Structure 1
Amino acid sequence: MSDFMDKAKDFADKHDKQVDQGLEKGGEQVDKRTGGKYDEQTDKGVDTAQARTGEGDQAR
Structure 2
Amino acid sequence: MSVFDKLKGMLKGHEDQASKGVDKAGDYVDGKTQGKYSSHVDTGQAKLKEQLGGTGQTPDSPPQPPPPPQQ
TM bracket (short chain) = 0.7 to 0.9
| Corresponding letter in the other structure for 1:38 | Y
In the aligned structure 2, how far is the partner of 1:50 from the partner of 1:5? 11
Unaligned runs of 5+ in 2: 59-71
- TM-score, normalization by structure 2: 0.68
Post-superposition CA distance 1:4-45 (Å, at most 9, x none): 764422122321000000000000000000000000000000
Aligned-residue CA RMSD in angstroms?
2.2
Query: How far off is 1:52 after superposition?
Result: 0.7
Q: Say if 1:30 and 1:4 are closer, same or farther in 2 by CA, change over 3 A.
A: closer
CA distance in 2, matches of 1:38, 1:14: 31
Q: Which runs of 5+ in 1 are unaligned?
A: none
2:31 matched to 1:32?
yes
1:58 deviation in Å?
1.6
Whether contact under 8 Å (1:31, 1:38) holds in the other structure is: yes
